[in-house]
Chains A and B, each alone.
Chain A
Amino acid sequence: MTYLKKIITRPESGALAGLVFVWIFFSIFGHSAFLSLAGTKSYLQVSSEIGILAIGVTLLMISGEFDLSIGSMIGFSSMAMTLLTVQAHFSMTSAALLTLLIVIFFGFLNGLIVVRTGLPSFIITLGSLFIIRGITIGFSKFLTGRTQLGGLETANGYNIMSFIFNNNIQVGGVAFPVSILWWIILGIIAFTILNKTQMGNWIFATGASKETAELMGVPIEKVKISLFIVTAFCAWFIAMTQTTTYGGADVLRGEQKEFTAIIATVIGGTLLTGGYGSIIGTMIGALIFGMVRQGIIFAGADADWFQVFMGIMLIIAVVINGIFRKKYVTG
């Protein structure tokens, strides 16, 4: 009984209840394909991509900040790597590393401006959302006159990149993408940092109360800037996965992904105000999101009504999460 209670009072259990609901719902109303291996692969792939992004977003949100520019960073990374490889004839690996350096610099700038000006990160990163997207479109059009580039499959170094980002794990004849494995690995790393290290304590302290954290001697600026770099890294990681999987990029890649990542984080129980949250919760949140998005397609909902179902399902998942938490966790 005490063991059961221990599980049920964890902050993630609400999200877990939401997940169970969504899964049962689509098992009944979704097509039988939802339960098949191919169906499972389909939503796990979506979940893993949102999930990797949401891991960075969660850490940053716990420290009390947002990064709205991650969607644009996905677009930038995809296009920069493709341009460097296809136009400038870099090997794909060095193009990827160079892109990573630039994106980390973007993350650093975001963080630096936020901590130095003291302005809400919501506004600062909204600005960088437009700037980075604009740079992506501007450079692509200027250099190639096009907004869509392919041809990575034949590039130098594609095999190494493909091995890292586009590998498959065969389970019962269905190829599960390696991004699922990366999602779990990155999740474990983030969980360990957040819950077992001093850095984790600092993140919670920064988000809970800036004043107290300062008194305790937490290097708030360094914590925040490094977390902005982490979100930028996550955006880059997704960009690499998508460009190697789909063999190219277009300038609109990653549009609106900042919102899906925040949604997954919030479904997972992390507070928008900072200071409270959980990586496991976020991973469940991403799983819910992927299940809902693909589940609706399995169920055969018409495109015109897709967003309505999507919104309803997400609200229900969050409501169940809330009810559950109130009843069992705090009560």
Chain B
Amino acid sequence: MKILKTILLTMVIFFTACFNTKDTTVKEKQTFTISMVSHGQASDPFWSTVKNGAEAAAENLGINLIYQAPTNFDMVTMAQMIDAVTATAPHGLIVSVPDIAALKKSIGNAIDKNIPVIAINSGQEIGKELDILTYIGQSEYEAGMIAAEGLLKYNINKAVCINHEVGNISLDHREEGFKYILNQNGIDVTTIPIDATDPSETKELVRSYLSTNPDTDALLTLGPLGALPMLKLMKEINQDGRIKMATFDFTPEIIEGILREEIVFALDQQQYLQGYLPVVFLYLYLTNQNTPAFSQLQTGPSFITKENAQKILELSKRGTR
């Protein structure tokens, strides 16, 4: 029994230190509790930037923020997490919605309990079915259009688009938007689907395409997994810089590529805003009853070019870009 007592005591101390015991303590001044449930896996650097944004906003506004996410991509667990969070009656809820069908019920339940909800990052269509406050993310189709407009400035004639995850609906939207604008301007776009797990095969595949289509002078990759092998290929065959390469999203290697003028620009989703802004909007709703009139707020894309690349690289090391 002695062991048991020791364990219990240690646990009590441990958990008191770790858990928020907010609801029993200070009651004089109202502190808001906002819960955030995302589908971001722990290994994904994208989501730690989102979380950093939410935490920074919460700290600035004196809000108690609780961030939770399932450990793997598991929509059932995520729905049950939202249910549990709803039962704790937070003042506001921020959720990402990668699968509307699976999460609709749990989010609807939170709304029924009069918890204001803001959707972020994915699932903007949920605003059509549920009465959420707003959606904060990036509209992929429009982002694709912006990528096309960015490349049009270089007087291009024939473009190729590299898709590294066929079947991923967000990437399809990027590609469709890109194609739409370029086709309107009479520019031909060819899509090359690649196997992201095999960078050498990807490189050779595109090399042979470019050698049989030498008039191609623009290249867009839909993410870093496609961009990195292309960066290597451009080093080999594009010394004169005739082919203009652009990409969605960025890594330090891509920034370096921009600084060396091998990539003309990268498009940044600015996911820090997808963490920071919903906390601010919920705060304004709770304290000031402000209801944003836009059904979606675009956090991106923003252009990363030679001019701002160095600055962005430093910021990304701080975990805010």
Q: Which residues of A contact B (CB under 8 A)?
A: 25, 29, 31-33, 36, 38-39, 41-43, 45-46, 141, 145-148, 150-152, 242, 245-248, 250, 252-253, 255-256, 294, 297-307, 309, 312, 316, 319-320, 323
Contact = CB atoms under 8 A, between A and B. Distances in A.
Given A246-B105, A306-B71, A320-B4, A42 B167 contact: no
Given A146-B167, A312-B11, A303 B4 contact: no
B69 A141 contact: no
A29 B15 contact: yes
Contacts of B83: 42, 45
B291 interface: no
**Tier of interface size on chain B:** 35 or more
A148 B11 CA distance: 41
A302 B66 contact: yes
B73 A31 contact: no
Interface of B: 1, 3-4, 7, 11, 14-16, 18-23, 42, 66-69, 71-76, 79-81, 83-89, 99-105, 166-167, 169
Nearest to A307: B71
B19 A299 contact: yes
A315 B103 CA distance: 31
B122 to A, nearest CB: 11
Nearest to B99: A148
A320 B3 CA distance: 10
B74 A255 contact: yes
Contacts of B18: 301, 305, 309
Given A297-B68, A298-B88, 13 more contacts: A38-B86, A39-B84, A150-B102, A245-B105, A250-B102, A255-B72, A294-B84, A299-B19, A299-B20, A302-B67, A304-B42, A312-B14, A316-B7
Nearest to A315: B7
Chain A facing B: main interface SS: helix
Nearest to B19: A299
Nearest to A290: B80
A246 B11 contact: no
A57 to B, nearest CB: 18
Nearest to B51: A303
A29 B15 CA distance: 8
A252 B39 CA distance: 13
Given A246-B101, A247-B104, A248-B102, A316 B87 contact: no
Contacts of A303: 42, 67-69
Contacts of A316: 7, 11
Contacts of B71: 306-307
Contact of A323 (B3, B86, B169): B3
Contacts of B74: 252-253, 255
A112 B268 CA distance: 54
Contacts of B80: 42, 45-46, 294
Nearest to A242: B76
A246 B102 contact: yes
A39 B87 contact: yes
Contacts of A248: 99, 101-102
Contacts of B100: 150
Contacts of B102: 150, 246-248, 250
Contacts of B68: 297, 302-303, 306
B76 A145 contact: no
Contacts of A323: 1, 3-4
